Amino acid sequence: MSIIQDLTPINLQEEKQKFFDNDCKYNPQFKYKTLATVGKIYKYGKPKPEYLELAKKILKTAFENNTEEEIRKIEGEVLTKQEATEMFDDFVKNNDLKNTITLKWSKNFAGRASFYKNTLKLQLPVKHRKNEFLGTLYHELGTHALRRVNHLQQPFFGKKTELGFKDYLLTEEGLASFHGLLAKNFKIDYTGALNYVTCQQAQEKSFVETFAFVNQYLHDKKRAWSYTYRHKRGLYDTQEGGGFTKDMLYFAGLIKVWEYFKKSNFDVASLYWGKIAIEDIEKAKKINPDYQPHLPSFYTQKPDLYQQQIIEIAELNFLYNI
């Protein structure tokens, strides 16, 4: 069973209903199939003060003159299911993934989009706007799926632990975060920043207090619940401070990948040697030096534009200050 499954309460829906029935003033009391240990909850560490200050600055900049509703409207009209399906079909065709990746729709999916193994899962009804959804395709398929496709072809596939490879998620989510922003008109990473600051809030505050903080930015109470729950899962009594810290990886990873881009002169191809951490790139290349990774079309078609956009994202998010 995965760590995410271990930290998913067996009474999640009941406690969510109690929360809303009590006017968002109830701290959920979660139950789990297996013991939610401190080691699992804090596997990914805790927020860093210097990153926290940057995340707060980004939030202030993003929301100074905008609500989230206004920010999202910049990305175009809400798509129909057919329009989203056509965009998916075009993307997998252009990236030679047509026979590799499948699409599945369901009203029962917990999130708007997720990628697992070879399936992109999309929630109904569709809530994506055009550029948002393109960003989702860049994030889920152009990053996660293609790194997986490359990884399956490597001689170190299934042997990373014995070969001493590090955890790859910080690199994986940081690169995916950059790519999600590439497709958007609004390139300030307010979702990554909000996740990072919410992670810190959750360590100090109750579920109700953390929800109130998130709800300042996300006025949709169901979305605010989702953000809050993701940071408070793992606890039994959410009146206490603490909670799972995985979602801070998106923002911390963005910073890590930016530092890599600066040092490597934007060597994108090396990041696609498989599902590996930046620290293991040289090890992976020594094992398979002649490998030619499958790269996303949004990079290969216009590599100079890709680099310009990455620099623009870094500037808008004050990454040069790190």
Percent of the chain whose pLDDT exceeds 70:
100
d(CA 222, CA 219): 9
Give, in degrees to the nearest 5, the angle at Cα 64 between 61 and 68: 95
- Cis ω for the linkage preceding 125 (within 30 of 0): yes
Q: pLDDT-derived band of residue 233, with 50, 70 and 90 as boundaries?
A: very high
Kindly report, residue by residue over 272-316, the tens digit of the pLDDT: 999 999 999 999 999 999 999 999 999 999 999 999 999 999 999
What mean pLDDT is predicted for residues 217-226?
A: 94
- Say whether pLDDT at 195 is over 60: yes
Helix then strand then coil, % of the chain, to nearest 5: 55, 5, 40
The two tokens of residue 119 are 């399936």
Crossing angle of helices 249-264/303-316, nearest 10°? Answer: 130
Per-residue pLDDT band at 117 (split at 50, 70, 90): confident
- Residue 1 pLDDT > 70, yes or no? no
Residue in the block written with tokens 């793992």: 234
* Confidence class for position 106, pLDDT limits 50, 70, 90: very high
pLDDT, residue 108, reads: 87
- Model confidence band, residue 35 (pLDDT cutoffs 50, 70, 90): confident
The overall pTM is greater than 0.75? yes
